[in-house]
Structure formats: structure tokens, C-alpha cells
Amino acid sequence: MTVQPQPPTCGAGRYAPSPSGDLHFGNLRTAVLAWLFARQSGRAFYLRDEDIDTGRSRPEFARRQEEDLRALGLTFDGDTTHQTDRFGAYAKALESLPHYECYCSRKDIQEASQAPHAIPGHYPGTCRNLTEKERETKRAQLREQGRVPALRLAAEADHFTVVDELHGEYTGEVDDFILRRGGQVPDWAYNLAVVVDDAYQGIDQVVRGDDLLSSAPRQAYLAQLLGVEPPTYAHVPLVLNAQGKRLAKRDGAVTLRQMLDGGMTTQQVLSQLGESIGIAGASTVQELLEGFDPDRVPRKPFIWA
């Protein structure tokens, strides 16, 4: 089975937050940049709730996030999509992918990654070549615990290269990453969901924080396996706090609602967002768009002071 993307007239971009809380300044900056990259290039622009983590995602946060983005003037094409509505699509995609059951616990994986010659942070393929008898034994053990195994991609590559508008060609490692998580309640893994959803919406440009750059080769490799052309990427620098750490809600009045409650206007917030990406004097998203040049996007993090 091949996941066929919807044929876009001129491509599409997207912003896809996890609805686990209100968006802070760093999230808003990435959303604005994604919108600017898409609109400047004549692309459609979609909003997607990546609510696949049902333990952390809340519908009220999805609603608040969309309200905040629209309050800044961002516009979207079509309806907002939700990953929790797309489980059937993930199951169909899984059917066409080489995969195998994994019975390892987090402790098993941590210990294996510390073995000689292991690549830190990568799954070493412990369960890939088990015999059927060994698999039956491990399945039985999990059943006694009321659990089901995870499903991992049987990757045939260990590296893959993507094209990034800020970083150029980037080659990263690929391993047998998880497609569906195991446990008492199995759920779909982010790497599979995001690739299937991007293909469905015809996304050919992904703009997001550069903390996700290392995941792009895995996702692009998976797209290729599904018969989908991988998108181009633009991994933009994050917003950091005064200590040089990634901005978080604990850093004070950093969400849009907190800033507005503190007396700022949306125009002032937009002006600050513009200054953070090198556009001075703008107070609307249209003014930001008029002054936007992808080649001039800062390559260094913005420090929130």
C-alpha cells in the first residue's frame, strides 16, 4: 500500500503543535516563521493538532492554541486536522512497511545502548532476528502482564540525507525506530503519524524548531518507503532563556495570554516576534510577510530576556 499525497496546486506548509498547554513565545515564533515561509512561496498553510499523545493532549488546549494563532492574524487553509482522527490511516500505512515486534523494556534498551560498539540513543535491533519460538515465548510473557509488543521499522538503511533551507544537506542516522508503541494500551508513534499526515495533506515544506533536525532523516526515509517524496525542511533556531536553555512556561509571562494580560497588545507581540526574526517595525503579519526574506532568517537562537 502506498500513501498517495493529495495533489497540491503549489505545495503546502503547516504548523502542528501538540495541544498540551498554551503556546509560549518560542512556539509562536516558529508558527509565524512557518506561516511566512509558506505564504511567501505561494503555498497553502494548514493547522494540525498533533494530539496523538492522549495522555498529555487536551481538546481545550487545542482550542486555545488555535484562538491564539488566529489572534495574531495567522490564516489557515481548510479545516484543522487531528491525529486522533487518523488512526485508520496509520494502520493502513503500517501494512506496507517492513516491521517486527519488539518486546524490550526501556531498561533493556538502555542497557543494550551501553554495550560496546552500540550507537548511543539508537535501538540495536535486539528483537529483529529472534526465532519464532523465541517470539512466542516473549509474547506469552507480555500477555501475562496484560501488555502487547511494540512494532519497529525493519530499516534497510543506517543513514539518510535531507535538504534543509537553513542547514543545507543534512545526513543523519536511521535505526529501527518505533512505529506503534506497546504496553497495556498500544498507540501510534509520532514518526509514523507525522509522515502519513504530511503526505495526506500534500505538505512539501516543513518549518519547525532545530531541535527536531536529527529526526528529519528518519521521517524522510520513512516517506520514501511509503512512496512519498520527502519534503524540504527549514529547521529554525529556538528561543532560549537568559540561562541559554530552551524557553519554557516556567520562565515567566511568556505565553500570548500572559503577555496580553500584562498589558501588551497583539501588535506589540507581533513587533517583538518580528524583531526576533530580523524584521523591524512590523505590527501585523502582513507587514511581516512584506519584509520577510528566507535567506535572512537568523541562524542563531533568539534570547528571551
Q: What stretches of 125-255 adopt beta strand conformation (E)? A: 150-153, 159-164, 168-173, 178-181, 187-188, 205-209, 232-236, 239-240
d(CA 32, CA 240): 17
Exposure b/e, 28-61, CB count within 10 A at least 16 = b: bbbbbbbbbbbbeeebbbbbbbbbbbeeebeeeb
Annotated binding-site residue? 18: yes
Burial-class residue 172 by CB neighbours within 10 Å (0-12, 13-18, 19+): middle
Annotated binding-site residue? 102: yes
Annotated binding-site residue? 10: no
Pairing outcome for strands 302-303 and 239-240:
parallel
Distances (CA, A) of 213 to 1, 49, 161, 210, 277: 28, 20, 11, 5, 19
d(CA 63, CA 257): 13
Annotated binding-site residue? 190: yes
The angle at the Cα of 46, spanning 168 to 261, to the nearest 5 degrees, equals: 100
The angle at the Cα of 14, spanning 261 to 22, to the nearest 5 degrees, equals: 25
d(CA 30, CA 237): 9
Annotated binding-site residue? 34: no
Amino acid in the structure at residue 167: H
Cell of 112: 543494550
Annotated binding-site residue? 208: yes
Annotated binding-site residue? 143: no
Q: Which parts are annotated binding residues for ATP?
A: 249
Q: Which parts are annotated binding residues for L-glutamate?
A: 14-18, 50, 190, 208
Q: Which parts are annotated binding residues?
A: 14-18, 50, 102, 104, 123, 127, 190, 208, 249
Q: Which parts are annotated binding residues for Zn(2+)?
A: 102, 104, 123, 127
